[in-house]
Amino acid sequence: MPKLSKEQYAILNLLFHGNTEITLARYTSFPLHLSHFLTNEYFTLDGGFCALGREDIPTFAKSELWEYLDSEDFEKLIFQSSIIGKSYEIQKENLKNKSIELVDQRLINSVYQVSAPLIQGDLALIQVVHGYIEMIIILQKNQQNEWQKLCEVFIQLNLAVDDN
């Protein structure tokens, strides 16, 4: 099974930092439907703002995210998300938060499931599922070469059944 890189663990450590008790699925997953949501149209539908709490860049609307991103690097991330098919094992010794419990069970609402972080240039994306919340987190390296959240885009699956 392939191993996550130091950069990928840097992203996981950013997202799951501190001493908060977290239950995390031991193996990463990457849903085939993810690239469907990596479009400007979908980001516009989600509404809200990006770069919240960042001091290095001003806050902007999610509908403007596509204009802000390095489109070549982001297009490469989208392509990577459409072809990735392997799972990675998360190794506890590479996680800074020692309160994280890694489990094999994924079908429990309290377990976080993540994709392997995809990295291209100074952009990265990761998919996180917790309970009924599914989101794509886009990260960017700052001037100190550290990963920071740029935007969270929530995935809303239409589960309604048409009776017709």
Mean pLDDT, to the nearest integer, of 5-34?
Answer: 88
For the chain, report the end-to-end CA distance as a whole number of angstroms. 45
CB atoms inside a 10 Å sphere around CB 37: 22
What dihedral do alpha carbons 105, 77, 62, 47 form, nearest 10°? -40
Q: Residue 31's pLDDT band (boundaries 50, 70, 90)?
A: low
The pLDDT mean for the chain works out to: 85
What is the model's pLDDT at position 89? 93
What is the model's pLDDT at position 25? 92
What is the model's pLDDT at position 98? 93
For the cut 50, the answer to whether the pLDDT of residue 106 exceeds it is: yes
What is the model's pLDDT at position 107? 64
Q: Residue 24's pLDDT band (boundaries 50, 70, 90)?
A: very high
Distance CA 119, CA 126 (A): 9
Mean pLDDT, to the nearest integer, of 69-96?
Answer: 84
What is the model's pLDDT at position 158? 52
More confident residue, 86 or 102: 102
Map residue 23 onto helix, strand or coil: strand
What is the model's pLDDT at position 3? 87
